[in-house]
Structure 1
Amino acid sequence: MKKILMIICGAIIFLNSCKKAVNDTVPGGNTLLLAYPAGTNYNTLSSGLNYFDNGLMNLDKDTILVSANIARPLSKDLVVTIATDQTAFTNYNNNTANHTKYTLMPQTYYSIVNNTATITAGQTAVVFKIAINASQFDISQTGYMLPVTITNAAGQSINNNMKTVYLHIEKDPFPPYPRNNWLVTGFSSQEAVGEGPNNGHVIQVIDNDPSTFWHSQWMNPPLSATTPPHWFSFDMAAQNVIHGVMFLTTQGRSDHRPKDVNISVSNDGGAWTTAANITLESVATWQKIPITPTQAVRYLKVTINTTYDSQAYTNLAEFKAY
């Protein structure tokens, strides 16, 4: 009997030691980390400088989700606070081993929707939302970084190596061409009166002002302006190799958004060839559409064949080529 008891005790000790070993695989014990993309599991491959590339973002989303994760559930609620980490940004740029230098993302480009959130008792994660103002970005000159870190966790231990996510966007290898020398060479129609003095004209799509827009003519329009296709064309003043085009729909409204669009190119402004037929999304953010094969051309023509609400008219805030 004594031998049996010794075996049972040994088994209990072995099981307890196994359980402790599992717990000890969590760095620093039951610590918090910040993860991107947001997840429900404690994953040390989602955060920190060792996984910097995981923070690479693009401008096709207007909301970024990150999560605070803890390895094992707690018996009570845990309030977690996050914030932009200026020190992490400075340390990254000052490290000579990091060849790419970034600009700190301006506050007008983003907002942390909820900088405080609660991991409820029995749970292991909570999600934070970061709103991205994609239409504000200009990545033609530099890349941007937004380090976000856990700053407070009500006394709970924080994993210092994994408390920060380095959200970043790279400099555009093919930035948009400057449009200050572009000329409007033709259009199907424009609303020269009904949208006020600073809207309605084709020139508004190349004025570098997202708040203005072109609108097809709707006030006493000629028959040709009442139905698609609607088009406009530009002289870029020089030959440019076109890798793609960019569209920004009219801000603050969603009616008459372009859908099916044709891009034509020319070197004399008279003989046009189709470079691409594309379908835009019905979104308020910049849409960047690559065109292959690339071509060196001087003139561009945009033809809007259909709209999302199937109405006769259409509008657009900005158009670029890159």
Structure 2
Amino acid sequence: MINKKIYCLAAALAILGAAASCKKAIEIPGGSESRYSMVYLPAAATNLNTYILRMTDSVQQIALGATLGGTGQAEKDIQVQYQVDQKMADAYNAAKGTTYPILPAGAYEMPASTVIPKGQLSSPLVHIKINPSKGLELFKQYLLPVTIQSISDGVQLNQNLRTAYYLVSASLNLNDFTEFSRDKWTILSYDSQEPAEGQPNGGLALNAIDNNTASFWHSKWNGGETPMPHWLAVDLGETKTLHGITLIGRQSDNKGKPKDITVAVSTNGTDWEDVGQVTGKDTNDKQKYFVTTFREARYFRITVTSGYGDTRYTHLAELGAF
């Protein structure tokens, strides 16, 4: 029994000795451990920090902060200088194959600097202040590259996490817009329709605005399908500002529901201006989409360039606008 106790004690001392030797083995040589710490932007760890702001004449904020990563807290106050650099936006677009314009300078204010206080790991959060009404186009995406321009002497900067990229756009709330009454609507024109659908399906262009989801407009198929694109133009009966369209798909599982759609408007029914591209869903449910450019118009037109199921035909139960 005594020998066993001595054996256990020796083993325990051996383990403690090994632990001590391991600790000594990972000690960082060469003085202060602070030289292994680096300042970086946490937001730089994300490829794109995406923000969708409300298109209002008001200031909206994006938080920004710097952090010290490494082996310990800041041994002194660390001054961090921020900068927005067009060259960084150009480099991002070149690397990613994108064409994002830089956020207009008049639309935002950004603090020039911050401080990581002594004994801390991070700076207090500051804010990039953006007013979308000061130069942003609705739904357009802008790039804001925020980089650390410089830091206090004697402190290292993490070059890989030096620049954070923010993708900013201005949008609206679909629920803020009420659909137009269709009481005065008529069909202006269409590329084709299919009377052979018969009742209750309808198949005619006017079935897309008849307030009846059981009927639908269908492009021609009897005697041979006509190929894409297919289009349908509506007379609103009065001039309105078009903000977007609504779609209700044919109430079936049939292929051919509209997928890629171009929306155009006209004041005279002859000259047309494209105001947006819409990607419809393969659903029977109601869909609501903004157009990119709001215009006053008496007429609007949808052109279906592709449908679900890779069909030559398309169909639609109800078409609306707001």
TM-score, length-scaled by structure 2: 0.44
Structure with greater strand share of residues: 2
Rg larger for: 2
